[in-house]
Amino acid sequence: MQNKKQFQYRYLEKIIESCELANGLAQSMSTLSKRDLKLSVKTLHDRGYELPRSMRLVVSKKVVEFLSEDLRDTLQLKEVRQKKQAPLIAEFVDIMSVWKTPDQAAGEEMKWTFARPLFAALAVELAEQIQDEDMDMSAALSEETQQQRAALNQEFQDIVFGAITNTAFMQLFDNEDIGPKRELLLRVSEAYVKAFNDDKVREMESDRLLPAARAVAENLADVFVSLTMLLNPGNLESNIAAVSKLVGGEAKSQNKLESAVALCLSTASWQKLVDEVITTAPATMKHAGTVRDMCEGLAKEMSSSDVAVTDELRRSVQKLSELKRVLRPGATRSLEDCLQRRLQEVGTKTLEKSDVEGLPADHVRVVLQGLRLFSGNERSLLELELKIMDWSARMSKQLGWKNLAEIRTSLLGVAEDAELIFPYEEIKEVIEAVGDSGTDTNFEDLQLLTDLAAKDLLAKAG
């Protein structure tokens, strides 16, 4: 036909070419480059051919592999690494968010395309097909139909797990160059968990999701939650059950994803993190709320103009060392950051004051105690500590009289039938520090303390 210049040969040529493209996808998709795969899918689409769902599942799997390779390649970058990773992580999570339904697509059409090969779009297709079949059936499902549906669900699950256990992604678990790899793995894990939690997948009604989509989504979430716990000591949302299941589950009861990740976590460097999480689990469960509350309290104080030491700041300074001792290394990092910034703020504002008006008697002691938690590693905090000590020396008499006034107030607040514990040594030290300076009000406080001391001594003698 071509030799005879009959134009019909062109139609036949396109049909043959389309058959070759489809056959290439079916037989050798694993060897295609991203460019060739995209060209094949686009050409068939433009010619009006729709790939069967099973083939589109494999294309989505292949795209996830390409994305994983692109993410791995960003590890070679330095300054722009995170900037390059952000859109790739967003695309990765978008494709792997298998639970999405049309009403969760933010106005976007839930249609599978090579540019956005969502597993969720394919899950919706399959779920709608099953619903349509159910409407056509007046009797109970035959055993054959049930087996067919089970096979379709299993195929979906196997391909999604196969997508994420590709070579490039699993290389992020390697023990070489672990810093950048684990940082990337943490970012991917946190992004997936956030999307999963934001959509409240565990609360979604069963009839809205393909069974395989729910199983895959929840299983991926459990794995990624475990990874966020292992890789981020500051993640105090303890879910030890997920970690224990992942690293301690029997191989025969684990799916492809769980067994692959568990195998990676069996190395020494990962096992160290696993041991840390499990060993400190009781302390984490006990103190997580305390750390969170203190961080929130200090954050609120930072927006205040008040310079005085508060109960929140005082508690944070007193508890930090204990928390660092019982929690995982790095678990208190966010609290330390908040506390350090607040101490720096309070210390700087303290130096601007020319008197001690409005400051509690233990103001300097708490600020210095807090600064000393960090000044060994931070020169600016050491310098601030020295300046506070100098300021305190100049204000010592004012602070001393203020301390006496607070002691007096606390003693007067003791109920008549309660035991009075008189702080003789503390009062003696303060009096020696203030000497004979002071106002009439200061000496009135001192006289009252003297009267209370006499009363206390008489009571003990009698």
pLDDT on residue 1 = 47
Assess whether pLDDT exceeds 80 at residue 14. no
More confident residue, 217 or 243: 217
| Whole-number pLDDT of residue 193 | 95
Residues 278-334: tens digit of each pLDDT:
899 899 989 999 999 999 999 988 877 788 899 999 999 999 999 999 999 999 999
On average, the pLDDT of the chain sits at: 81
Of 276 and 24, the structure prediction assigns the larger pLDDT to: 276
Res 2: pLDDT = 47
Q: What is the pLDDT of residues 393-407, one digit of tens each?
A: 777 666 666 666 676
Going from N- to C-terminal start, the domains of the chain cover 1-51, 54-133+148-279, 287-394, 404-461
Q: Among 37-41, 286-290, 336-340, 412-416, whose mean pLDDT is lowest?
A: 412-416
**Distances in whole angstroms, Cα of residue 78 to Cα of each of 74, 82, 185:** 8, 8, 16
CA 314, 373, 315 angle in degrees (round to 5)?
A: 15
For residue 33, give the amino acid letter: S
Amino acid in position 64 = V
Nearest alpha carbon to residue 72 among 90, 88, 91: 88
Contacts of 95 (CB under 8 A, 6+ apart): 60, 63, 64, 67, 116, 117, 118, 119
What average pLDDT score do residues 188-195 get?
A: 96
Give residue 148's pLDDT: 86
State the Cα–Cα distance between residues 119 and 156, nearest whole angstrom: 9
pLDDT category of residue 431 using cuts at 50, 70 and 90:
low
Smallest CA-to-CA distance from 367 within 386, 352, 395, 394 is with 386
Amino acid at 273: L
Which pLDDT score, from 0 to 100, does residue 228 have? Answer: 93
How many whole angstroms separate alpha carbon 293 and alpha carbon 301?
Answer: 12
| Section 52-66 average pLDDT | 92
For residue 451, the model assigns a pLDDT of 61
Calculate mean pLDDT across residues 121-134: 84
Q: What does 222-250 look like in DSSP terms, one character per residue?
A: HHHHHHHHHH-TT-----HHHHHHHHHS-
Backbone angles phi, psi at 397, to 5 degrees: -70, -40
Average pLDDT over residues 164-189: 93
What Å distances lie between residue 410 and 84, 309, 403, 423, CA to CA? 60, 18, 11, 11
